[in-house]
């Protein structure tokens, strides 16, 4: 039997799994099969209709149809029992006394409207005070459920991450083909200074002081080079001196400021000094390594299921901490700190060496490498820099796969997540051909989620396309962290 909640008349219901038949439907379970039909349009935030619905429901549901049921429990006990019953549990994984619509190819759900019928019966036998309280509670629960159901399709839509270059990101954001992007500097600064986009979230807001780019060396090169430790000490020293220069020259009143802006424009492929200045603002240049935060990054990569399970098992690492301590060493930076005031010529290598160096295209995070090269620090220490075959690379994953694994790089700079991920996923453990180790930091923070002007929060990106540099990059990991914090799904 079906009762129309507005007219109180017995009506027939046409079961049609292709179209919604009402907010609630099913079997009430009182010994008689009773259904309450509530029109779907009531779930569309029409508040006057809600008030009408509840007052009408209290007065006009034909309780006589179930008059043989004995109500011996309190209305609170009835409510609890109804919530815990298997009928309610089967209703829906998201049902909280809210609106439910029948979907195609699904069997009709057991209804929880019986709670309202039972409450109505009990209320009619109690005081007006209880009646008004319960009417208010029922109204609030039903309204919250309907609003939740009305919003659930939007919540379920994932944010679409699409791999692209930095130039494509800026271009496609300008044409409206994407709603935003996450990228290293200078691309966020370019988009902002051109009026194409705006900063939504700086990576430091996702994770304060997170490690980003690092200096790493190839294990095969290390083993085959006689004085590799001496070379790596001096590579760490160049990183230290370059970082100190940059952090001083970033100040607008520094005598080296204009020179630094020129270096930034050259390395970043920029033509606008304003974009160069802006691109330096949110990047924290460093030389120290960071084992605790590297451990955290490894754990995040594990949590997101990025490691290939078989590869992780082959690696032999027990946990994130074990891996981090195998990956990162402090000894070269320690030597650099002890020798930072020394005359470079005085501690130069006895025999000059040539290093095949890899880096990422237009990545301001790796500016210390370029500064050390242009300022002559490497040369003063007996190191000749040769740009590695394939460099500059589009992202850190390419540098790991085509550079280090492809044996075209001796030493290079790239993001810590590509190092973490591809030392596992891209490694042939029979030869350990993707084994690299980290000797120094390069920068912390410095990536930004940039969006179109109509986007005001990360939730506004649901169902929209967002550019990123590719799988296994630090930008991917950071975006996943930001989305996870907001309870958002991401597709890539």
Digit-coded pLDDT (tens) for 426-481: 999 999 999 999 999 999 999 999 999 999 999 999 999 999 999 988 899 999 99
Label the pairing between strands 198-202 and 159-163. unpaired
Residues 392 and 471 both lie in one domain: no
Domain end: 131, 156, 181, which one?
156
Angle at 309 between CA 430 and CA 490, to 5 degrees: 130
Q: Enumerate the H helices of 250-330 as residue ranges.
A: 257-268, 273-281, 291-303, 309-315, 320-327
**Of residues 352, 364, 358, 324, the one with CA closest to residue 234:** 352
- Residue 170 and residue 59 share a domain: no
Same domain, 258 and 345: yes
Question: Which pairs count as long-range contacts for 333-338, CB under 8 Å and 24+ apart, including other chains?
Answer: 333/236, 333/239, 333/240, 333/287, 333/288, 333/289, 333/439, 333/440, 335/233, 335/236, 335/237, 336/233, 336/236, 336/237, 336/239, 336/240, 336/287, 336/440, 337/240
In this structure, are 180 and 229 located in the same domain? no
The contacts of residue 450 (CB under 8 Å, 6+ apart) are: 169, 173, 180, 181, 182, 183, 187, 188, 191, 192, 197, 198, 199, 200
Residue 202: burial class (beta carbons within 10 Å; 0-12, 13-18, 19+): middle
Domain check: are 49 and 119 in the same one? yes
Note whether 198 and 276 are same-domain residues. Answer: no
Measured distance CA(357)–CA(241) in Å, rounded: 18
The C-alpha angle 369, 371, 372, rounded to 5 degrees, equals 65
Q: How far apart are alpha carbons 240 and 113 in whole angstroms?
A: 69
Q: What is the pLDDT of residue 139?
A: 52
Task: Domain of residue 181: give its range.
Answer: 159-207+448-491
Bridge pairing between strands 198-202 and 447-451: antiparallel
The predicted structure's pLDDT at residue 472: 84
Residue owning tokens 């034909």 = 62
Q: How many CA atoms lie within 13 A of 337 on its CB side?
A: 10
Q: Do 222 and 368 have their domain in common?
A: yes
DSSP 401: I
Domains in the chain: how many in total?
A: 3
d(CA 464, CA 490): 10
Q: What distances in angstroms separate CA 7 from CA 4, 11, 23, 51, 483, one per listed residue?
A: 6, 10, 17, 16, 47
Please say which residue of 156, 173, 199 terminates a domain: 156
Low-confidence ranges of the chain (pLDDT < 50): 1-112, 115-116, 119, 123, 127-129, 133, 146-155
Q: Are residues 197 and 243 in the same domain?
A: no
Residues present in the chain in total:
492
Task: Say whether 410 sits in a helix, a strand or coil.
Answer: coil
Residues 333 and 399 in one domain: yes
pLDDT value for 31: 38
Together in a domain, 435 and 332: yes
Task: Give the tokens for residue 270.
Answer: 């920029």
- H or E stretch covering 36: strand 35-37
Please state, in angstroms and rounded to a whole number, the distance separating the CA atoms of residues 482 and 390: 32
381 exposed, middle or buried (CB, 10 Å; 0-12, 13-18, 19+)? buried
Q: Tell me, yes or no, whether 90 and 168 share the same domain.
A: no
Same domain, 152 and 164: no
Closest CA to 465 of 157, 154, 161, 155: 161
């Amino acid at each position: 039997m079906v009762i129309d909640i507005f007219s109180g008349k017995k009506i027939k219901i046409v079961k049609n799994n292709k179209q919604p038949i009402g907010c609630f439907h099913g079997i009430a379970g009182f010994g008689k099969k009773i259904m309450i039909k509530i029109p779907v349009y009531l779930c569309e935030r029409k508040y006057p209709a809600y008030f009408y619905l509840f007052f009408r429901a209290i007065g006009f549901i034909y309780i006589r149809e179930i008059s043989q049921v004995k109500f011996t429990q309190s209305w609170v006990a009835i409510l609890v029992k109804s919530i815990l019953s298997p009928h309610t549990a089967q209703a829906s994984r998201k049902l909280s006394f809210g609106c439910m619509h029948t979907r195609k190819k699904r069997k009709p759900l057991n209804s929880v409207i019986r709670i309202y019928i039972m409450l109505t019966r009990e209320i009619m036998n109690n005081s007006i005070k209880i009646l008004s309280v319960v009417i208010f509670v029922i109204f609030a629960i039903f309204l919250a459920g309907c609003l939740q159901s009305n919003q659930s399709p939007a919540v379920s839509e994932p944010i679409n991450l699409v791999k692209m270059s930095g130039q494509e990101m800026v271009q496609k954001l300008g044409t409206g083909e994407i709603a935003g992007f996450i990228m290293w500097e200078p691309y966020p600064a370019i988009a902002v200074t051109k009026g194409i986009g705006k900063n939504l979230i700086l990576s430091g807001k996702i994770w304060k002081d997170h490690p980003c780019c690092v200096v790493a060396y190839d294990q095969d090169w290390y083993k085959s080079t006689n004085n590799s430790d001496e070379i790596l000490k001096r590579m760490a020293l160049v990183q230290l001196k370059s970082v100190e220069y940059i952090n001083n020259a970033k100040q607008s009143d520094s005598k080296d400021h204009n020179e630094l802006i020129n270096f930034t424009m050259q390395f970043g492929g920029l033509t606008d000094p304003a974009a160069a200045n802006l691109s330096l603002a949110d990047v924290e240049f460093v030389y120290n390594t960071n084992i605790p935060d590297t451990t955290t990054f490894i754990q995040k990569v594990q949590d997101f299921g990025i490691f290939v399970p078989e590869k992780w098992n082959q690696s032999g690492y027990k946990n994130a901490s074990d891996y981090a301590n195998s990956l990162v060493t402090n000894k070269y930076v320690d030597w650099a700190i002890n020798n930072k005031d020394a005359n470079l010529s005085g501690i130069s290598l006895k025999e000059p060496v040539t290093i095949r160096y890899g880096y990422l295209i237009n990545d301001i995070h790796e500016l210390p490498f370029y500064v050390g090269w242009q300022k002559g620090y490497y040369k003063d220490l007996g190191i000749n820099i040769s740009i590695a075959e394939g460099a500059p690379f589009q992202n850190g994953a390419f540098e790991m796969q085509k550079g280090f694994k492809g044996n075209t790089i001796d030493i290079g700079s790239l993001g810590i997540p590509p190092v973490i991920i591809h030392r596992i996923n891209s490694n042939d453990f029979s030869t350990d051909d993707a084994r690299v180790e980290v000797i120094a930091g390069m920068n912390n923070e410095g990536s930004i989620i940039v969006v179109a002007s109509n986007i005001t929060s990360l939730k506004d990106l649901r169902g929209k396309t967002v550019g990123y540099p590719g799988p296994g990059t630090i930008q991917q990991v950071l975006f996943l962290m930001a989305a996870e914090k907001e309870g958002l799904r991401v597709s890539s």
